[in-house]
Structure 1
Amino acid sequence: MASGDYNKDHLLEENRADSGIDSYRSISKDEPTSSRYQSPEYSEPRDKFSTADERLDSAYGSSSLTVESLSEIVAQYRISSTDDETAESTEQCENCEQQEDNLLTTITEDGDTILHLAIIHEDEYFAHQLIQLFPKDVLDIQNNLYQTPLHLATYLSLPSVVQGLVEKAASLELQDQDGNTPLHVACQLGRIDCATEMTREVTSSKLAPVLETQNWRGLTCLHLATQNGQHQLLKLLMKKGADLNIQEGTSGKTALHLAVELHDVSSVTLLLKGANVDAAMFNGCTPLHLAVGRQDATIANLLCQSGADKMLRNMEDETALDLADGNDDILALFPFDDIQISGRSVVGMKFFVE
C-alpha cells in the first residue's frame, strides 16, 4: 500500500474521535462517541494539578484517527515479528518505513496514540507489536485525560500488555487527571494481576516513589486498596514495602483508620501486622477512638489486643472510653484499673467521705 493512500484512507476521517478508556464502547452504534472513563469520585478534570507542562506528547501532530480506521489499520498492517524477515523489494521496504513513521507520529484530537487505541479495543496482539516498535517516550504519551497506555491496560485488565509495557520501562509514576498512577488504578479497581506485573521486577528504590504518591484526594495506593476492600492488593503492597503509617492528605488517616471506619476486620487484621496501632489523625483521633465511636466492639477488641493505648486523648480532650456511650461490650474492654483521675490510676486511691 502506498503511503499516501494510507494517510488519506485511514488517518483523515473527520467525524469521530477516540479517547479514554470507555471509548472502546463507541464501536456500538447505540453508545455515544464521546464517552470517557471517569473515576466514580470525579466529574471534572483537575487542571490545577494536570498542567500542559506535564504532558509528553507536545512533539506529535494531531490527526482524526478513528475507531473505524483503527480496525482497517490492524487488518492491513502488521509489524514483522522476526528480525531477519526482509522486504521483497526496495519499494515495499520504503512503504513499511513510511507506515512505521506514521504510527509513531500519529495522535488523535483527543490525545490518543495508535497504542492507546489498540489497548482500548483490547487488540493485545497489535498492542504488543506496537510496544516493541515504539521508543519509551511514545509509550509514556498521555491522552487528554492524562492516561498513558499503562493506565488504559490496567483499566481494561490486560496484564500481558501491562507486562510488556513495564518490560519496556514505561513509567509507573505518571498521574492521570485524578492524580492516579497506574498502580492507583489497579488498587482502586482490584486489578491484582496488573499490579503484580507492575511490581514484579521493579526495584524497591523505583517503586517507593509510586507507593508514596498521593492522588488529588490525598490517597496513596495503600489507602485505595484499603478503601475498596482489596485484601490481595493489601498483601502485595505490604510485601513490596508500602509504608503502613502513611497519612492521607486531607485528615491524616492511615490505612488502619480507613479499615476501622469501614468495619473491615480482615483489613484491620492485616494492617495490625505492622501498622502503628496508636497513629493519630490531624484531630488526634486514634483507630481506637474511631472503633469505639462507631460502636464496633470487635475491632476495638482487636486494637486493644494489639496494645492500643486506651487513655490517649484527641484534640477534643476525649479518650476512647469517653466515646463508649454506655456500650457494655466496649466498656468491658476498659478494666477498672485503667481508669485514671488527674493522670493517676483509680485503683489504690483512697476516697474519704465526710
Structure 2
Amino acid sequence: MSQGSFPLHEACREGQESKVRELVEEQPKLLLSQDLDSRYPLHWAVSYQHESIVKILLSRMQSVDLDDLVDESGWSPLHIASSVGNLDIFTELLHHAIKPDADLGTSQGVTALHLACSKQHLAIARLLVKEGASVRKKDVRGQLALHRAASVGSIPLVKLLCDERSPVNAKDVQGWIPLFHALSEGHGDVAVILVQEYNAEYRELQDNSGKAPLDVVPDDKVKRFFLENVEQ
C-alpha cells in the first residue's frame, strides 16, 4: 500500500493521536473509507492496540454499525480485537452505541469466540460468553470454538465452553470431535477432562477415514496417560 494515500489509516497504524484528531475533524468521511486492504481506519487502530485512537474513532461513529465495517475476508474490528487479545479495546467495541453482534462470522464462518479460543484469550472468551455469544456456532470447517480450545490445550477454555453446554461430540468436516484435536496435539489432560467430566465419546468413535481417537495420538506417553485415567 502506498504511503500517504490513506492518511487516516496510516495515522491509526502509527499511533499518531493528534494527527487522527486533526483528520477526523477536517475530513470525517475518512472514518468510513477503505484502503487497498479493504480495511477501515478502526481496523488498524485495533490491530496495533492504540486504545486512545480507538476511543477517538468510536466517539465519532456513534451511528455506525461496526458489523458493517468488514474487510475482504469478512473481519470486523471485533474479530481483530478478539484475535489480538486486548481486553480494554475489545470491551470498548463490545459496548459501542450500536452493539456489535458477538456471533458475527467472517467469510470463513469464524466468530470472535473461535478467535479468542485459538489465541487462548480467556478473559475475552469469558466476556463473550457473558454477553451471550453462542458456543454452538460452527465455522466452514464445521468446527466449534471448543474444537479450537481443545486443539490448543486450554483447560480453562474447554471447561468454560463445556459448562455453557457446547456440544462435546460435534464432528467437524473430517469427522473429528474436540477430543480428536486434543489427542492429536498431545493434550492428554484436556482429553481426559472431556471424557471424564463431559462424557466425550471415544470407544466406538471413528473419523471420516476410519481412525479412532487413539490412532491420532502423537506418542505412547500421551496414549498411556489417557487410557490410565479414563479406564480406571
Superposition TM-score, scaled by structure 2 size:
0.79
Q: Deviations over 1:247-303 (max 9, x none)?
A: 221x21211111222222232233222122122112322112333444432111111
1:106-121 counterparts in 2 under 5 A? Answer: 108=5, 112=6, 114-121=7-14
Higher Cα Rg, which structure? 1
Flag structure 2 segments of 5+ consecutive residues without an equivalent. Answer: none
1:262 aligns with 2:152: yes
Q: Deviations over 1:88-131 (max 9, x none)?
A: xxxxxxxxxxxxxxxxxxxx3xxx2x433432342323424544
Q: 1:196 aligns with which of 91, 98, 106?
A: 91
Cα separation, partners in 2 of 1:156 and 1:296, compared to 1, 3 Å: closer
Superposition TM-score, scaled by structure 1 size:
0.55
Equivalent position of 1:8 in the other structure:
none
Alignment partners' CA distance in 1, 2:23 and 2:193: 51
Fraction of identical pairs, as percent: 27
Q: Secondary structure at the match of 2:66?
A: coil
1:244-259 counterparts in 2 under 5 A? Answer: 244-249=135-140, 251-259=141-149
Give the deviation of 1:202 after TM superposition: 4.9
Equivalent position of 1:186 in the other structure:
81
Equivalent position of 1:281 in the other structure:
172
1:174-323 counterparts in 2 under 5 A? Answer: 174-202=69-97, 206-208=99-101, 211-215=103-107, 217-249=108-140, 251-274=141-164, 275-304=166-195, 305-310=197-202, 311-320=204-213
Alignment partners' CA distance in 1, 2:23 and 2:186: 55
Alignment partners' CA distance in 2, 1:335 and 1:287: 19
Q: Size of the alignment, in residue pairs?
A: 223
Flag structure 1 segments of 5+ consecutive residues without an equivalent. Answer: 1-15, 19-65, 67-107, 337-354
Q: Secondary structure at the match of 1:207?
A: coil
Equivalent position of 2:16 in the other structure:
123
Cα separation, partners in 2 of 1:269 and 1:133, compared to 1, 3 Å: farther
RMSD: 2.9
Alignment partners' CA distance in 2, 1:323 and 1:333: 18
Alignment partners' CA distance in 1, 2:213 and 2:198: 15
Give the deviation of 1:171 after TM superposition: 4.0
Equivalent position of 2:225 in the other structure:
329
Q: Secondary structure at the match of 1:332?
A: helix
Alignment partners' CA distance in 2, 1:280 and 1:330: 20
Q: Going by fraction, where is helix more abundant, 1 or 2?
A: 2
1:156 aligns with 2:48: yes
